[in-house]
Amino acid sequence: MAQDDRTLDELRLDLAPEIARVAVFDGWGDQALEQAAAKAGVDLAVARLAFPGGAMDMIAAWIASTDARMQAAFSGGQLTGFKIRDRIRTLLQFRLDAVAGQEEALRRALAIQAMPQNLGRTMKLGWNSADQMWRLAGDTATDYNHYTKRALLAGIYTATLAVFLDDTSEGKAETRAFLDRRIEGVMKFEKAKARVFRDREGFDVARFLGRLRYPAR
């Protein structure tokens, strides 16, 4: 595809990785965008048009580019035959490997995402990435499990990133160990939860929650 034929969405995905590489040194600002656009041969005015929201738009595009790489790497059934915990571990590790060497860009991105005005969008981005991971892992739940699984995975990912940032161990061994512990903890929780609801035959969680919100008159 010719460069001039790219949509703004495509341009954002193309520029985001290079912006992140520059952000390691210069932060998520116009200087990073300018250098990334120059390297890609993109007119700066067009590049700015692709990121009208500034830093958060750049960070969102970086996350989206990682999502796209993850989809390309695992959407062809590469995880078939893996246990569910190994599928999730593989997907999370892929995302960590994708940002290895860019810890300072990640640190700055997380600080921007944590700003009060950005929290809503940050939560949506995290939820979307967690949803994609579960779908690649083969999850088809549509009941309350759909939501609890994604919330738990988003929490694991966020906590693991915090460890990853300060991990100076060989090969990020401490991060890997932390990730294994968190996944094991979630697997135990899921098993316990399944036992509880399996023992309550006929119990409709959706109906129960609905009654809490709209009690019968």
The residue segments making up the domain with residue 53 are 3-213
Between 139 and 112, the more confident residue is 112
pLDDT of 2 reads: 47
Proportion of the chain above pLDDT 90, given as a percent: 75
pLDDT of 155 reads: 93
CATH at residue 104: 1.10.357.10
Answer yes or no: are the C-beta atoms of 182 and 174 closer than 8 Å. Answer: no
Q: For the chain, what is the domain count?
A: 1
pTM of the model: 0.84
pLDDT over 70 (residue 173): yes
First and final C-alpha spacing in the chain: 61
Answer yes or no: are the C-beta atoms of 14 and 50 closer than 8 Å. Answer: no
pLDDT of 201 reads: 52
What's the distance, CA 36 to chain centroid? 23
pLDDT digits (tens, 9 = 90+) for 58-67: 999 999 999 9
pLDDT over 90 (residue 130): yes
Give the residue among 54, 63, 33, 29 at the shortest CA–CA distance from 117: 54
